């Protein structure tokens, strides 16, 4: 894995090979490799998975209906279900053509990470757990949020597409390219051993499948030197057999690199078109005997079963692509899903809760602001974009964007209904409390001058990231110089950083006049309103860091930068994940590196105290070495059995209301020092105490046994830690298996 990472049952061969065998290292090759036949066998072949009969009553019904539907189709109609066509009336980025004689209206596929892209008034908001921590490279946290996201999307009959499966950990060489010698360079190969795959990169996908995700999107990269969208080990062996996935697999856009072999490997749908590989070529493969017709039947049935599972066959279900006309200016029904009474407050709350205070000077300086008469504002990030939808920087190597950053770039970008910028919200506050606001946004370097009467100076900077290219660094000299220049002139300098991932702060963090630093992350359209409520103490900050912030870039070692094509693998770039499961706080714990701010860290306007840790085994629960349950969505059903309860209490010792995200960590024998295995956010009034309860499931306490190909409980003592961050853990205990 390369930094940053924000993310990818029975088998024929277990992956116990040394990493150098995955990548065909220089020990085995002394000249440039020019054919991918060199890598054959590094990802084992798994035969096409059997068609599910349904892991639940609803899926069973959906598959019965789908079987009847598909039985009425011609070979060509079945094939047409498996590849996209250009939609003539909508702006769907992917579209499956209708079969009107059977009442099938087609399927619209659309980007929707932060709202439906190109739609008028559809946004996304956070569920309760997202108000505690955000998506990160921690598998447990990412898995909980993935499951919540899947359930939230699908409860309204929309199929969630969980991506990218799997190992999509850098953007450099994510797609084939041509080098300076006009030679084809294949996509990067993420070379991941079986144990690391299951315990780290597969974990959140397993949670998404358990939550019932109807779709999985395979990734651009190769996995152990086999393209992700035609990797039978991943799609047939792991996803459809081991995890019991009920839905269908779709390519990322233009990620298909083979014909019927990809279908046999478990791919069900290709986007945005059949290209040169599928379409008529797929039916030709059946006609000439290259592919069994049952494979196409399986693909079509999975797609139609998913369509039935989410009620998209019902008469009152909207037409595919509703609200996304082609062209956008065409007359159409305006979708107003974003102004339902509850959503506006939830969006604001989500923006508030995403802020993390990491430095604060108590007293007259720092936060919250104490009725300032004059506030001065600096920095390019304080102002609204010049257009909506917002644009990404023209320079792909840019580390910042010259506007307030509310979302990242790429497929997850959207066009919000409005944008409340920090400067606009601060101006409104100045109007309301009769204070004065000065600002200098045009001085985009370190030459800005500060009014000597300023009670507080707010400096706004950002750290940009986008799909399609890797961040060139985790801080920039330009913004650091601006902060230090203002701090040299202002006794109460407060830094707000809108960041898409880790941003180093050590260049200015110890400046005596930098009194507070807050990571605002990607707050969305209510950015300014949310920030002002925090700056002025209307509500206290309670977000937690979903990553560690190191003191220097070298703390990451080789994980800092993406892996380029090099050596004998000039045409077949290799990324060997030699670090295994040791990334982020696991790596810092293992290497005894002290970060500037650890995973799960935050400061509050109050103080919390933990007490009364208790660990109880659930009566009748089995702690046998291996699970024995049937395969359901997510894997063997007893992986989700609760084996232990952990309880404790947290008290608010301060004088203001506060919310605390309590975090449970487990030290599994022989594994990392500690791993997140639970979190809970509670509101605690001053002087009050709140009880906490966590459940530990079998999977939470297991490691992946690469020989048995099962999750395995370890014999011995498990350490239990509870507290406010990965390194602030005042309560410790143990359980024994």
Is the separation of the CB atoms in 473 and 416 below 8 Å? no
Active-site residue, from 252, 584, 638, 641: 252
Q: Residue 599's closest CA among 356, 405, 406? A: 356
What letter does residue 564 receive in the DSSP assignment? P
Is the separation of the CB atoms in 5 and 170 below 8 Å? no
SS3 content of the chain, % helix, strand, coil (to 5): 25, 20, 50
Lookup: tokens for 616? 């109880």
Side-chain half-sphere exposure of 122, counting CA atoms within 13 A: 19
Burial 191-215 (b: 16+ CB within 10 A, else e): bbbbbbbbbbbbbbbbbbbbbbbbb
Lookup: tokens for 413? 């970008």
- Report angle CA 22, 26, 28 to the nearest 5 degrees: 70
| Helix spans in 155-252 (H) | 194-196, 203-210, 232
Q: What are phi and psi of 57, to 5 degrees?
A: -60, -40
Q: Which residues contact 146 (CB under 8 A, 6 or more apart)?
A: 162, 204, 205, 207, 208, 211
- How far is residue 341's CA from residue 450's CA, in Å, rounded to a whole number? 42
| Helix spans in 108-225 (H) | 139-154, 194-196, 203-210
Its sign, for the CA torsion 464, 468, 469, 470, is positive
Helix (H) or strand (E) holding 735: strand 731-736
SS3 58: helix
Angle between the N-to-C axes of helices 341-353 and 527-535, in degrees from 0 to 180, rounded to the nearest 10: 60
What letter does residue 526 receive in the DSSP assignment? G
- How far is residue 720's CA from residue 700's CA, in Å, rounded to a whole number? 12
- Report angle CA 373, 375, 376 to the nearest 5 degrees: 150
Q: Which residues contact 175 (CB under 8 A, 6 or more apart)?
A: 187, 220, 254, 255
Contacts 24+ apart (CB under 8 A), 36-39: 36/186, 36/225, 36/572, 38/572, 39/189, 39/225, 39/226, 39/572
SS3 617: strand
- How far is residue 204's CA from residue 144's CA, in Å, rounded to a whole number? 7
Is the separation of the CB atoms in 62 and 305 below 8 Å? yes
- How far is residue 489's CA from residue 631's CA, in Å, rounded to a whole number? 64
* Diameter of the chain measured on Cα atoms: 83
Q: What are phi and psi of 703, to 5 degrees?
A: -115, 165
Q: Is 638 a catalytic residue?
A: no
- How far is residue 207's CA from residue 216's CA, in Å, rounded to a whole number? 12
- How far is residue 498's CA from residue 158's CA, in Å, rounded to a whole number? 31
Which residues are the active-site residues?
252
């Amino acid at each position: 894995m390369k930094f940053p990472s924000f993310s990818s049952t029975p088998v024929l061969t277990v992956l116990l090979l040394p990493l150098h065998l995955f990548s065909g290292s220089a020990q085995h090759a002394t000249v440039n490799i020019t054919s991918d036949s060199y890598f054959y066998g590094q990802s084992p072949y798994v035969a096409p998975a059997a068609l599910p009969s349904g892991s639940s009553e609803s899926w069973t019904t959906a598959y019965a209906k789908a079987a009847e539907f598909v039985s009425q189709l011609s070979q060509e109609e079945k094939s047409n279900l498996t590849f996209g066509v250009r939609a003539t009336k909508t702006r769907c980025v992917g579209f499956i053509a209708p079969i009107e004689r059977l009442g099938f209206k087609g399927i619209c596929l659309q980007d929707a990470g932060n709202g439906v892209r190109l739609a008028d008034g559809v946004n996304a908001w956070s569920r309760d757990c997202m108000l505690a921590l955000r998506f990160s490279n921690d598998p447990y946290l990412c898995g909980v949020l993935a499951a919540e996201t899947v359930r939230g999307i699908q409860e309204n009959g929309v199929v969630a597409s969980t991506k990218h499966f799997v190992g999509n950990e850098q953007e450099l060489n994510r797609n084939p390219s041509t080098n300076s010698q006009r030679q084809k360079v294949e996509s990067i190969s993420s070379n991941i051993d079986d144990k690391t795959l299951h315990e780290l990169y597969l974990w959140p996908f397993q949670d998404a499948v358990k939550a019932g995700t109807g779709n999985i999107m395979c990734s651009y990269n190769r996995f152990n030197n086999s393209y992700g969208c035609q990797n039978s080990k991943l799609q047939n062996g792991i996803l459809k057999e081991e995890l019991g996935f009920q839905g269908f697999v779709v390519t990322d856009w233009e990620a298909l690199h083979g014909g019927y072999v990809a279908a046999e490997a478990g791919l069900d749908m290709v986007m945005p078109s059949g290209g040169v590989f599928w379409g008529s070529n797929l039916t030709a493969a059946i006609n000439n005997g290259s592919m069994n017709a049952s494979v196409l039947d399986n693909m079509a049935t999975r797609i139609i079963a998913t369509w039935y599972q989410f009620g998209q066959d019902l008469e009152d279900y909207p037409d595919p692509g509703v609200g996304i006309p082609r062209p956008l200016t065409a007359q159409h029904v305006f979708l107003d899903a974003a102004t339902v009474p509850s959503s506006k407050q939830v969006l604001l709350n989500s923006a508030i809760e995403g802020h993390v205070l990491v430095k604060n000077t108590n007293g007259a300086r720092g936060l919250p602001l104490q009725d300032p008469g004059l506030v001065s504002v600096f920095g390019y990030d304080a102002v609204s974009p010049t257009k909506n939808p917002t644009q990404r920087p023209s320079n792909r190597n840019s580390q910042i964007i010259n506007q307030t950053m509310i979302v990242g770039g790429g497929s997850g970008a959207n066009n919000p209904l409005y944008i409340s910028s920090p400067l606009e919200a601060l101006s409104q506050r100045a109007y309301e409390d009769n204070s004065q606001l000065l600002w200098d946004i045009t001085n985009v370097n370190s030459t800005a001058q500060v009014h000597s009467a300023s009670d507080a100076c707010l400096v706004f900077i950002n750290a940009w990231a986008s799909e399609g290219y890797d961040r060139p660094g985790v801080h920039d000299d330009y913004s650091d110089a601006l902060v230090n220049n203002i701090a040299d002139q202002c006794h109460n300098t407060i830094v707000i950083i809108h960041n898409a991932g880790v941003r180093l702060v050590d260049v200015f963090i110890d400046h005596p006049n930098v009194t507070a630093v807050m990571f605002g992350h990607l707050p969305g359209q209510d950015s300014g309103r949310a920030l002002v409520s925090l700056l002025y103490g209307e509500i206290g900050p309670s977000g937690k860091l979903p990553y560690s912030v190191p003191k220097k870039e070298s703390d990451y070692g080789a994980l800092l930068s993406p892996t380029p094509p090099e050596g004998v693998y000039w045409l077949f770039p290799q990324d060997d994940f030699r670090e295994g499961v040791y990334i982020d706080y696991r790596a810092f714990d293992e290497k005894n590196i002290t970060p500037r701010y650890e995973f799960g860290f935050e400061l509050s306007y109050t103080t919390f105290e933990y007490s009364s840790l208790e660990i109880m085994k659930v009566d009748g629960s089995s702690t046998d070495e291996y699970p024995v349950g049937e395969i359901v969505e997510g894997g063997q059903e007893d992986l989700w059995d609760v084996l232990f309860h952990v309880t404790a209490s947290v008290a608010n010792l301060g004088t203001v209301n506060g919310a605390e995200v309590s975090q449970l960590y487990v030290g599994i024998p022989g594994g990392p020092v500690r791993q997140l295995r639970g979190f809970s956010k509670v509101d605690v009034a001053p002087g009050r105490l709140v009880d906490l309860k966590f459940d530990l499931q079998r999977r939470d306490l297991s490691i992946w046994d690469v020989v048995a190909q099962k999750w395995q409980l370890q014999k011995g003592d498990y350490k239990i830690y509870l507290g406010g961050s990965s390194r602030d853990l005042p309560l410790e205990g143990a359980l024994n298996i």
